[in-house]
Homo-oligomer: A and B are copies of this chain.
Amino acid sequence: MGIKERREKAKENLRQEIFDAASELFAKEGIANVSMRKIAEKIEYSPTTIYLYFKDKTTLLHEICEETFVKLAYEVEKIKETADDPLEILRGGMRAYIEFGLKHPNHYEVVFITPLDSYIEKTPNFEYTFEDSTGKVAFEKLVESVVRCIEAGAIKNNDVELISQTLWAGMHGLTSLLIGHKYFPFAEKERLIESMIDTMIKGLQD
């Protein structure tokens, strides 16, 4: 049945249109300046139409962010080819993470800065879980890098999860501060990134 397919495709088209419009608006204006009505206006449909394709605003935003975070996972993966030294790869991955966050501040904000918990508690059927998110894929690549470093004896043989989470917290701390507190008199960005990576890596060596 070709007709049914075409109709489904048309439906997918509108879904994609909504997605793209929201994505662009969101990347440009940030979460605070994106409303369902604005998205609707952009695609010239009524606001309620969006709900025929996306469960709610939060879900739509997270779907948009998922798409972006695929790139992070890709970029972290790509680092592996640039060096042989596992420690250098870990360094590169950390740098890629931080720079990714600074490059996509709005996406980073939604995924990692905005506390999800309050939303989860309110909407029991929220389908988003970290367990099957792209964020987890990226995180697993970090864990992998850590494992390689331990195997090579480059960092201390401690609890892998603990080390990975500590590294993540360090990276996230710098990224989120630089995104959210632009008016704080920070030291130069490049030096801060360098300092954070160096400090953490050195701190994890025997």
Contacts and interface: CB of A to CB of B under 8 A. Distances in A.
Contact of A180 (B114, B162, B181, B195): B114
A176 B113 contact: yes
Nearest to A117: B182
A154 interface: no
B166 A192 contact: yes
A10 interface: no
Q: Chain A: interface residue count, which band? A: 35 or more
Interface in A11-56: 30, 32
A180 B130 contact: no
A67 interface: no
A116 B183 contact: yes
A201 interface: yes
Contact of A183 (B30, B117, B174, B198): B117
A203 B198 contact: yes
Contacts of A198: 203
Interface in A181-206: 181-184, 186-187, 191-192, 195-196, 198-204
A70 interface: no
Contacts of A162: 187, 191-192, 195
B203 A115 contact: no
A163 interface: yes
A200 B114 CA distance: 25
Contacts of A203: 198-204
B196 A166 contact: yes
A89 interface: no
A148 interface: no
B113 A115 contact: yes
Given A115-B179, A162-B192, A199-B203, 8 more contacts: A113-B180, A114-B180, A130-B184, A168-B173, A169-B170, A172-B176, A198-B203, A201-B203
Question: Lowest 8 CB-CB distances: which A-B pairs, in order?
Answer: A173-B173, A203-B203, A115-B180, A199-B203, A169-B173, A169-B174, A202-B203, A172-B173
